[in-house]
Amino acid sequence: MKIGVIIPARNALPWIGEMLASIHSQTHSAQAYIAEDRSDDGTHEWLREHPELWASMRRNRKRLGWAGSLNAAAKLALADGCDAIFTASADDRLH
């Protein structure tokens, strides 16, 4: 079963690395799908420098907000063949 964690991200630079690391530390393999919502704190640039931490990432052409970015991330996960999708915030951690 392919598991996707969808993450809307806006100005999440202080937290996104810890969130992505927590996804990779799960006992069942899971992948991150991120919709980056036009951050101005360096989040997008940081994500581009760390492609090993996510399966798919897109930067929204315009700000879509939480719901729009969640839908955009879900489209990425579904297009990649995920069987199950979980939502998370960029400042969450999985335990």
Percent of the chain, pLDDT > 70?
Answer: 100
Give the pLDDT mean for 17-37: 96
- Other Cβ atoms less than 10 A from the Cβ of 41: the count is 12
64: exposed, middle or buried (C-beta count within 10 Å: 0-12, 13-18, 19+)? middle
Give the pLDDT mean for 52-66: 98
pTM: 0.96
What pLDDT score was predicted for residue 81?
A: 98
Give the pLDDT mean for 47-76: 98
What pLDDT score was predicted for residue 58?
A: 98
- The answer to whether 90 touches 57, Cβ cutoff 8 Å, is no
